[in-house]
Amino acid sequence: MEDEVDRLTAGWRRALPDVDVSPLEVLSRVARLARHLERQRTVVFARHDLETWTFDVLSALRRSDPPHHLSPGQLLAQTLVTSGTMTNRIDHLEERGLVRRRPDPNDARSVRVQLTSVGRRRVDLALRDLVARENAILGTLDTSDRATLAGLLRRVVAPFDA
């Protein structure tokens, strides 16, 4: 089975035969897959009246221990955005009734961002839909292939996350 990356690398091998383009065989496929996944996720999240960033914030809260609340700083660390961006995102989510700010019980100067029941239902349904869609995307891979691919990708990605 040939794909666009095969055609791309064959062209580079003809144009610059002295350059080892083998990294493109892997990373160009990863980049193309990332673009396809982003499009798919956008469609899935839109069905639940969410954007990718709203899903990211809501899912960070949902994965936290009950009562599903985090400090804005913890949300920053999990979503990799600036403080000002996070404040705007929390404001937007609060206006939509998906989160609420609560005083931090351990620090009167701080707040916790808590997932509302509406936010919880929304993110739960979106995740179920997302997993079903992504399971279909991986449909040609059996459990063993998926584990192998996940392990290999982990080895490549982990240094960036460290």
Task: Please state, in angstroms and rounded to a whole number, the distance separating the CA atoms of residues 79 and 33.
Answer: 21
pLDDT digit string (tens) for 89-122?
A: 999 999 999 999 999 888 888 899 999 999 999 9
Helices and strands, number each (H, E), in the chain:
7, 3
CATH of domain 50-162: 1.10.10.10
What global pTM score does this model have?
0.85
Strand 107-115 relative to strand 99-104, pairing: antiparallel
pLDDT digit string (tens) for 28-54?
A: 999 999 999 999 999 999 999 999 999
Task: Please state, in angstroms and rounded to a whole number, the distance separating the CA atoms of residues 144 and 23.
Answer: 24
User: What is the rounded (10 degree) CA torsion for 135, 138, 140, 146?
Assistant: -110
pLDDT, position 55: 97
Q: Which of 31, 48, 26, 29 is nearest to 131 (CA)?
A: 48
Taking 90 as the threshold, does the pLDDT of residue 5 lie above it?
yes
